[in-house]
Amino acid sequence: MKRVYMDHASATPVKKAVIETMLPYFDRHFGNPSTVYDMGHEIKKVIEEQREKVARLIGAKPGQIIFTSSGAEANNLAIKGTVFARQKKGNHIIISAIEHHSVLNSARFFERMDYEVTFLPVNKYGLVDPERLRDAIRPETVLVSIMHANNEIGTIEPITELSAICREKGVVFHTDAVATVGNIPVDVNELGVDLLTLSGVSLGAPKGVGALYFKERLRLMPLIHGGIQENGRRGGTENVPAIVGLGKAAEIATEELEGNETRMRELKGRLVAGIHERIEQVKYTGHPENRLPGHASFCIGSIEGEALIYMLNQHGIYANTGSACASKALKTSPVLVAIGVPPELAQGSIVFTMNSENTMDDVEHVLDKLPLVAARLRELSPVWNQH
């Protein structure tokens, strides 16, 4: 049976070149980078080389990169580290209504500590209005966090405009760029952000590694206290093999980004057109043009998303019905609610996320099987039968 994997927003396979680069750091080059003898010095040098590669991918300086265990940890460090460091300035945080759970729940953590959090609404495409942000900022606002792109609906936010407003107001601006780094060009200087999160799982690196970019002279309170690792910003012995994997994946992404982006747009265009041609009552979610190149998300009327994913699985097709961090909760997606999708339609959500390993044959396989699965589920649907 043909297998088609289109859930790269939740996990990507580790590239072969990345695995090969990592292997020596499990057994041959295993020294602790904090030791004073030559084995430690060699490993410390390797870590700094990976820092340079990650920095190059996003237009940063190596000293502005902190390695973490994941994108979620990087988001926590950005938000909690900034807010704790600026306690005397104010007690107000602004985030969008469609942030990743690691951002949403970090903000809610501060709500329990008597901070006030403003959840900025988005329009029907999932876009934050810069003027709404301007109006929401107060003298006591210490942080704004708005993601670069949403991995459930694919919409890319106007980060350059949003960060400029925060810079004008003297407010720290963070963006969760896990969905964009490696998929589209990302330059922290062009975006004008103070903090930016990225993750290895989206780059073809192993799970369990991420990074946080931070602007020079920005104060961050560490969340993990320990030794002098990461210049005192994150304690604990570094996960050297994973960091080496992230560095190699960043190097590959830097070289292949432009070609991959063009291919992804072609695959997405064919998938979107084919689904609209073959299935009725389908809503394309997110912005129609200003979105991630390999991302296609839909709500299919009179169908339950979990059942749809399960039945596609029987045909060797792997997609998702929303964010990988929320899809098992069996609740209406807060992202779809935020963009105004009716709850009964939101239940039929399906998200396809492609990367460089996908082909046009994969797309045609989905277009062959998805209409059959949708038709079968609608035969069983009392809602559709009343249609």
Tokens encoding 295? 């991302």
Q: Helix, strand or coil for residue 179?
A: coil
Non-local (6+) Cβ contacts of 295 within 8 A are 9, 151, 154, 268, 286, 351, 352, 353, 354
Dmax over CA atoms of the chain, in Å, equals: 75
**Residue 166 annotated in active site:** no
> What number of other Cβ atoms are within 10 A of residue 52's Cβ?
17
Residue 173 belongs to what H/E stretch? strand 172-176
Distance CA 33, CA 374 (A): 54
Contact 246, 17 (CB under 8 A): no
Q: Where are the alpha helices (DSSP H) in the chain?
A: 16-22, 24-27, 38-58, 71-85, 101-111, 130-136, 159-169, 188-191, 240-278, 305-313, 334-338, 343-346, 360-379, 382-385
Non-local (6+) Cβ contacts of 73 within 8 A are 102, 210, 223
Residue 299 belongs to what H/E stretch? strand 295-300
Exactly one of 218, 325, 337, 367 is catalytic; name it: 325
The CA-based angle 171-175-176, given to 5 degrees, is: 150
What length is written for the chain?
Answer: 387
Q: Which one, of 113, 122, 109, lies nearest residue 79 by Cα?
A: 109
The CA-based angle 186-50-103, given to 5 degrees, is: 50
Q: Helix, strand or coil for residue 214?
A: strand
Taking CA atoms, 236 is separated from 53, 72, 168, 232, in Å, by 22, 17, 37, 10
Q: Helix, strand or coil for residue 174?
A: strand
Tokens encoding 383? 């809602």
Taking CA atoms, 221 is separated from 78, 82, 86, 232, 233, in Å, by 9, 7, 9, 10, 7
Task: Enumerate the active-site residues.
Answer: 325
